[in-house]
Structure 1
């Protein structure tokens, strides 16, 4: 017998209307209630066996692209390139266009699961998840379960700029066929960036990291610390590291804090270019010059990086190419990489915002 909405409501101990609100995402529901409903959906396998999915065995013309923040150029570039491949003229005559819908999670793990549930109910042809993953074992396991069910129902899963499912905490028993992964070499890129600063002669380097609990944050910080360790830098790096959001305001505040802790810093590395913009503003407002007094570097090589004054030293990720490739994989128009995982290199772009430290520093 098919599982009904009422069955889910009974399991979650809520009304059928509340279940509908959670699954449609169009009405405010408390996070605890949302989690309870989604857990009941998974336990009862409602989406796979319910009436919505029994209408047809095949997938629909819908493709979901999940991003943390569509206003962030990092995600906008990836999503735009993927959408062009999925729904643009390039797909004409090759199996028909698909409707690519960008789902903005705001970095919320709960919203990410809600979107995956909605896409499952719509029998999405493909799902592209972009950017770093939340490193919470319970959430990782829930996402892996959801993606496995989507894949089993015929939905193509592509992870772009995200670690393989098996690399996340709490994930077990997920086969490589569940998702194709295009992983950015965040560790290697960050290590190359900090090695560049060290080669210039810097030894007191501050670091502005992203939010705690995200895979991208951890991997980029690990690369930075690995370069310092290789150079024999033994100072307590926790004091020279400040975490925050991936935005300009966070970079500004973090740079002021770093300069308060260590006024003699000669360089600050940022976990992305938007943070680096804030760092540059804070450095100037502190009466310091870039790079004469202090060097500043970013990560991602967003389009504005080359136009800053001075031009920003950063790490280039081929965001457009990666997004386009993710779109082709989602459409089944490109052969997946061996083992289902490809690592995309991150290259150093040395520009005018970095230079040797001041004499005697």
Structure 2
């Protein structure tokens, strides 16, 4: 039995059926099946009406329909901003390795940081029948994002797939998603505490967009450490900059041109730290003798810089492996709601931090 909601959704599980699509398009159920299968000629106007109805009803083809189209796949999909970022690349490598170990293919989509592209990528991978869809990296965690992602998590769950948030915060205990996080704030707290323990009181928190979850968590850890050491959180010591070496160099050069008002830099990523080191060197400042420098991530170029970078290690590759393992382990998945894992971070001591 179906209820007349105006959307043609079944009352039992919220998913549109072939009959719902047929009614919306004004055609027969066999015609809808032919359009989905793509293996039988259908008039152009009819096909367009059916395709529009499929989109409007957010229809997800069942396994039989996907098989007819040649799209029955054993695969996990992962979606990220940019494949060139070292941390993203390590997570992706972990996903690919674990997926291959479990006999799955890996599908990849990039978004360039655009929320609408991310949503479209999730929908596309759902339609392709991916067993899990893994979203990697930080995001602007506002109410609009949460509403959209909760709806997608429910839709994927109903379609037999799984939404995985990798390096992102939870959408709520009741949302059917897998969350694999790392101790983001704790890592920033530990690094800031180390700088403060060396006597630094003017620590520049450098890089990132404080409105995104990754940078916001690290900023929160920085501020908590300042509070615990009874050091004033000076607003002018928080300096946003893109997650990009060249851009970070340009931003810090501009700041240094106005004068040196800090004794240490805590860069929000290692790439930002590399840009900061270049700017400091160009202004004749030695690291760590004149200015201490710390990063976050422990990926290239952390160990390649001179001096080698003291940074926070994030187990990015393991993050990807765990995301796949949990998403595919249906037996140990909770019947309802969230599945959660938290990985640790730690400070890697090298050469770029010294006493004030």
TM-score class, shorter: 0.7 to 0.9
Q: CA deviation at 1:109?
A: 0.7
More off after superposition, 264-273 vs 319-328? 319-328
Distance 1:45 1:318 in 2: 37
Distance 1:41 1:210 in 2: 40
Larger radius of gyration: 2
Distance 2:58 2:272 in 1: 42
1:35-59, Cα deviation, whole Å (9 max, x unpaired): xxxxx9786333368x966969x97
Other-structure match for 1:78 = 91
Task: Give 5+ residue unaligned stretches, structure 2.
Answer: 1-18, 26-52
Distance 2:286 2:265 in 1: 13
Q: CA deviation at 1:139?
A: 2.2
Q: Among 280, 283, 299, which residue is 2:296 paired with?
A: 299
CA contact (8 A) 1:136 1:213 kept: no
Distance 2:171 2:144 in 1: 13
Distance 2:99 2:55 in 1: 29
CA contact (8 A) 2:177 2:338 kept: no
Q: Among 225, 228, 231, which residue is 1:230 paired with?
A: 228
CA contact (8 A) 2:21 2:54 kept: no
CA contact (8 A) 2:204 2:237 kept: yes
Q: Among 305, 325, 328, which residue is 2:325 paired with?
A: 328
CA contact (8 A) 1:59 1:154 kept: no
Q: CA deviation at 1:134?
A: 2.2
CA contact (8 A) 1:4 1:46 kept: no
The DSSP-based 3-state class of the residue aligned with 2:165 is: strand
Distance 1:4 1:121 in 2: 18
Q: Among 68, 75, 88, which residue is 2:81 paired with?
A: 68
Distance 2:80 2:95 in 1: 12
User: Residues 126 and 59 of structure 1: is their aligned pair in 2 closer, same or farther, counting only changes over 3 Å?
Assistant: farther
The DSSP-based 3-state class of the residue aligned with 1:269 is: strand
CA contact (8 A) 1:183 1:343 kept: yes
1:238-288, Cα deviation, whole Å (9 max, x unpaired): x11111221112321232244345513110111111111000000001110
The count of aligned residue pairs is 310
**Larger helix proportion of the pair:** 1
- Whether 1:248 and 2:251 are equivalent positions in the alignment is no
Let me know the Cα RMSD of the aligned residues. 3.0
Aligned pairs for 1:50-65 within 5 A: 60-65=73-78
Distance 2:294 2:341 in 1: 26
- Whether 1:283 and 2:241 are equivalent positions in the alignment is no
Other-structure match for 1:355 = 354
TM-score, normalised by the number of residues in structure 1: 0.78
Distance 1:188 1:356 in 2: 22
Distance 1:257 1:231 in 2: 29
Distance 1:294 1:336 in 2: 48
The DSSP-based 3-state class of the residue aligned with 1:165 is: coil
The DSSP-based 3-state class of the residue aligned with 2:239 is: strand
The DSSP-based 3-state class of the residue aligned with 1:252 is: helix
Distance 2:23 2:278 in 1: 53
Q: Among 126, 129, 134, which residue is 1:120 paired with?
A: 126
CA contact (8 A) 2:226 2:233 kept: no
Q: Among 209, 212, 215, which residue is 1:211 paired with?
A: 209
CA contact (8 A) 1:62 1:122 kept: no
